[in-house]
Structure 1
Amino acid sequence: MPNSDLMPIGVFAQRSGLTSSALRFYADSGLLPPAAVDPVTGYRYYAADQLARATTLRQLREIAMPLAGVEAVLDTEVEEAARLLDEHVAKIVGDAAAALQKAAVIKSALGADVPSLLIATLKGPVLADAVEQVLTATAHEPGMTVLAGLHIEASHEAIALTATDRYRLSTRTLVPPEPPAQTWAGTVNGDDLRAAVAEVRRSARVHIEAVPHGVWLRMPEREDRHCRLLSEDFPDHRLMLASLGEATTRATVSKDPLLRALEEHPGERIALHVGDHGVNVRSADEHPGIPLPATVTGEDLQIRFEMTTLYPAVSTAIGPDVMLDLRGHDRPVTIRSADRGDLTTLAMPIKFDHSAGERQRGTS
């Protein structure tokens, strides 16, 4: 008989979260053999030091890892196990995306008479670039799925793509070779668009068609891609843009030196000191920073940002020079190309609360 330090299969099942039948299966498959088996009764007993392996086994099966993969993860080094896990999850995500696309194709075939509306026809590489640039302003937040989407508005003149994570808002306007015949607006699932970007970029022309609950990206000589619509209302960004007011300070600075200064900055927060002598990139604690030549008009200004807000806004700007329109230390800053206005980003600053001794998001 096994000693008192061993647990019968029922107790081990409760502690590990595995059923007794699952433990018998994993014992027979060699993944988790019992520490001892009573030769008379055939009862199986497990040791306490087997709990960790049993728990990991259960967790791996909960994410649908096949038995061969489970065995490989359990019996290898930590680094290799992590790689195998990443590989498995990537396959699941890829399979899910493929299933979504196939389901959309099947639904389209089942409802061949579902009306579609041609929104616009755009050059594939141009659309892909615009989608990637604007999607940098999205965020996945519980209870606010719309922040992970890209809002598309079609007027009779152009197509506007807009996204916001509440601290940053990016919008780009594209003018199709032929003006859209219809007006339309909807918020498209950002993850679906990311998955489609590579194919869009390789297509000379992309026809964007709206259907109930989604849009189709129709690409001649390539597989069409379906992107879901989000039902939640997109924030009223037009009201925000209309309420910005005039800039009190404008600075035009070379994009690459500004990006290098931000990359070399060691902290999570950045301060810009804008004045007659240019733009100085400093730490938020006022230590000397990196001076950059710039053309500045208007009032001198000191303004602070989170690095995760300012850097993407500058890096996605089009062209060699970036124009910053500033309205005060606690107001949104407009960041755009100095010579092309079709991509515009609003970046929210942070403010320093001297009484609390901590930095907070600015308000608009």
Structure 2
Amino acid sequence: MTRSELMPIGVFAQHTGLTASALRFYADSGLLPPAETDPVSGYRYYSPAQVARATALRQLREISMPLATVEAVLDGGAEARIRLLDDHVARIADDAAAARRTAAALKSALGAPAPGLLIATLRGPVLADAVEQVLSATAHEPGIPVLAGLHIEAGHEAITLTATDRYRLSTRTLVPERPPEQTWVGTVDGDDLRTALPTVRRDALVRVEAVPHGIWLRTTGRGDRHCRLLPEEFPDHRQMLASLGEATTRVTVAKDALLRALEEHPGERVALHLCAQGLDIRPPDDDRPGTRLPATVTGGAVPVPHTVQIHFETTTLYPAVSTALGPDVMLDLRGPDRPVTIRSADRGDLTTLAMPVPSHHPA
């Protein structure tokens, strides 16, 4: 390659997003030596083929990867690169979680914080179970941080917890032990709540207090826990619930039997075939009988000349069923392209909506 095809350090810096001083440092460390160095002037020149390596180096350093690991990623094979990246991100996540726990403890230790607005007093184990169940419908979606949060609506008679990942929506209503001082609405960081759950679960009564940028979970002698508020607006789930319409078909089936069938089902999608005889679990494009479960099917679809079928991603349906309360679950259907309501057959305070996926073949 001739000198005219090479880039001076300033031009190379513009192409890669690295400063000239950073390029000198990476050259001296052996991570990114220049393609050529003028023996008289000492000027450094880089080839176009080095742009990709320099860009990757910059990105790895932007996520705080140590130099030794950066070198291993840049010079390793594909599998090694993926493993090293995953290990590094996991360490960052663990460090962030530890920092949040330490910060919460410091907030409590550095002088007693002023009491917040009491929005609920709940039994610790009940609150922990409800939060854990509803948080199963959260997701860490790039650019939509509110989907990782738990929406809390505290009224005079009840407190409602809601979460959604856009494919599922879970909501549960709890009756507080003591009425709140006034109504309150906010969306709380789901990761902070998960960290607080072990403490909350072991306390008989937990006071939930709202402060300007979060909530405090006040426990008895086990250490209070602070959870941050998310500033983004929570999706208008009430409008969606109001627009659902009446269910046309209801299926009541044993929860454990349905979960076992889903666990044993191959593939990423599952078809539920409903008929007067029960519920059939099979692959979406397979007309052969699958796993038949005894079920009670009522509503406009019964009696049926053939079957009613609805398709789901298994990753959407399984957690919706697994978090239901009680031994039996009810599925309220509104059509193959409408959300399905999944709830306990005898305890209706936890409700989940699961969005079906289109079928390749008409029902």
Question: Same fold by TM (over 0.5)?
Answer: yes
Please name the residue that 2:179 is paired with: 180
- Measured against aligned partners, the alpha-carbon deviations of 1:124-160 in whole angstroms (never above 9, x if no partner) come to 4432332222122234556755443222223344332
Please name the residue that 1:305 is paired with: 311
Please name the residue that 2:42 is paired with: 42
How far the C-alpha of 1:94 sits from its partner, in A, is 4.0
Please name the residue that 2:296 is paired with: 295
Q: Is the contact between residue 154 and residue 180 of structure 1 (CA under 8 Å) also seen in structure 2?
A: no
How far the C-alpha of 1:161 sits from its partner, in A, is 1.1
Please name the residue that 1:320 is paired with: 327
Question: Quick one: distance in 1 between partners of 2:133 and 2:45?
Answer: 59
TM-aligned CA distance change 1:113 to 1:63, over 3 Å? closer
Question: Quick one: distance in 1 between partners of 2:327 and 2:216?
Answer: 34
TM-aligned CA distance change 1:108 to 1:197, over 3 Å? closer
**Equivalent position amino acid for 2:58 in 1:** R
Q: How does 1:237-252 map to 2 (within 5 A)?
A: 237-238=237-238, 240-241=240-241, 244=244, 246-252=246-252
Please name the residue that 1:26 is paired with: 26
Q: Is the contact between residue 27 and residue 33 of structure 2 (CA under 8 Å) also seen in structure 1?
A: yes
Question: Quick one: distance in 1 between partners of 2:339 and 2:83?
Answer: 42
Residue 225 in 1 paired to residue 221 in 2?
no
Q: Is the contact between residue 134 and residue 170 of structure 2 (CA under 8 Å) also seen in structure 1?
A: yes
- Measured against aligned partners, the alpha-carbon deviations of 1:95-128 in whole angstroms (never above 9, x if no partner) come to 4455556666777889977551222233444323
Q: How does 1:1-364 map to 2 (within 5 A)?
A: 7-47=7-47, 49-99=49-99, 116-140=116-140, 145-176=145-176, 178-182=177-181, 183-201=183-201, 203=203, 205-238=205-238, 240-241=240-241, 244=244, 246-285=246-285, 287-288=287-288, 289-298=290-299, 299-300=301-302, 302-307=308-313, 308-350=315-357
How far the C-alpha of 1:85 sits from its partner, in A, is 2.4
TM-aligned CA distance change 1:39 to 1:94, over 3 Å? same
Q: Is the contact between residue 311 and residue 357 of structure 2 (CA under 8 Å) also seen in structure 1?
A: yes
Question: Quick one: distance in 2 between partners of 1:76 and 1:351?
Answer: 42
**Equivalent position amino acid for 2:180 in 1:** A
How far the C-alpha of 1:211 sits from its partner, in A, is 1.0
More displaced 10-residue stretch of structure 1: 293-302 or 312-321: 293-302
Question: Quick one: distance in 2 between partners of 1:163 and 1:123?
Answer: 21
Question: Quick one: distance in 2 between partners of 1:204 and 1:328?
Answer: 43
Q: Is the contact between residue 35 and residue 46 of structure 1 (CA under 8 Å) also seen in structure 2?
A: yes
Question: Quick one: distance in 2 between partners of 1:13 and 1:235?
Answer: 43
More displaced 10-residue stretch of structure 1: 105-114 or 135-144: 105-114
How far the C-alpha of 1:42 sits from its partner, in A, is 2.7
TM-score, length-scaled by structure 2: 0.80
Question: Quick one: distance in 2 between partners of 1:78 and 1:326?
Answer: 46
**Uncovered stretches (5+) of structure 2, i.e. residues with no partner:** none
How far the C-alpha of 1:188 sits from its partner, in A, is 1.8
Question: Quick one: distance in 1 between partners of 2:98 and 2:154?
Answer: 28
Q: Is the contact between residue 117 and residue 210 of structure 1 (CA under 8 Å) also seen in structure 2?
A: yes
TM-score, length-scaled by structure 1: 0.79
Q: Is the contact between residue 278 and residue 296 of structure 2 (CA under 8 Å) also seen in structure 1?
A: yes
TM-aligned CA distance change 1:30 to 1:245, over 3 Å? closer
How far the C-alpha of 1:215 sits from its partner, in A, is 0.8
Question: Quick one: distance in 2 between partners of 1:95 and 1:234?
Answer: 28
**Equivalent position amino acid for 2:169 in 1:** L
Q: Is the contact between residue 271 and residue 303 of structure 1 (CA under 8 Å) also seen in structure 2?
A: yes
TM-aligned CA distance change 1:26 to 1:234, over 3 Å? closer
Identity %: 73
Question: Quick one: distance in 2 between partners of 1:328 and 1:51?
Answer: 53
Please name the residue that 1:362 is paired with: none
TM-aligned CA distance change 1:230 to 1:25, over 3 Å? closer
Q: Is the contact between residue 120 and residue 207 of structure 1 (CA under 8 Å) also seen in structure 2?
A: yes
**Equivalent position amino acid for 2:295 in 1:** A
Question: Quick one: distance in 1 between partners of 2:84 and 2:141?
Answer: 28
**Equivalent position amino acid for 1:210 in 2:** A
Structure 2 residue matching 1:207: 3-state secondary structure: strand
**Equivalent position amino acid for 1:311 in 2:** Y
How far the C-alpha of 1:353 sits from its partner, in A, is 8.6
Structure 2 residue matching 1:346: 3-state secondary structure: strand
**Equivalent position amino acid for 2:256 in 1:** D
TM-aligned CA distance change 1:50 to 1:204, over 3 Å? farther
The root-mean-square deviation of aligned C-alpha atoms, in Å, is 3.6
Q: Is the contact between residue 37 and residue 45 of structure 1 (CA under 8 Å) also seen in structure 2?
A: yes
TM-aligned CA distance change 1:113 to 1:44, over 3 Å? closer
TM-aligned CA distance change 1:56 to 1:181, over 3 Å? closer
Question: Quick one: distance in 2 between partners of 1:142 and 1:74?
Answer: 26
Structure 2 residue matching 1:163: 3-state secondary structure: strand
**Equivalent position amino acid for 2:291 in 1:** I
TM-aligned CA distance change 1:28 to 1:260, over 3 Å? same
How far the C-alpha of 1:338 sits from its partner, in A, is 2.3
TM-aligned CA distance change 1:69 to 1:153, over 3 Å? same
Q: Is the contact between residue 279 and residue 293 of structure 2 (CA under 8 Å) also seen in structure 1?
A: yes
TM-aligned CA distance change 1:86 to 1:201, over 3 Å? farther
